[in-house]
Amino acid sequence: MSKNWYPIIDLDLCTGCLACVSFCTHNVYEVKDGKPYVANPDNCVEFCRGCQKGACSFEAIQYFGEN
């Protein structure tokens, strides 16, 4: 079964503040070249928008599966 909900980072908008990495307790993100990288999309909780709403101030997080 393929995962149908996980974050997609817009690296043009992302400032590399890494607030999303600190915020998520599910080990979805890793850091690569100073920017967040969605290393474990299967760990993302379906319909959670925690990092989008609670961490990112730059509108850099969208979700695969939200449309």
Could you report how far apart the first and last alpha carbons of the chain are, in Å?
A: 19
Q: Binding string, 27-66, against ligand SF4, x = CB under 6 A?
A: -x-------x-------xx--xxxx---xx-x-xx-----
What SS3 class is residue 43?
A: helix
Smallest distance, ligand SF4 to C-beta of residue 2, A? 16
Encoding tokens for residue 20? 């999303």
Size of the site for ligand SF4 (CB under 6 A): 25
Encoding tokens for residue 55? 């961490």
Nearer to ligand SF4, 1 or 48 (CB): 48
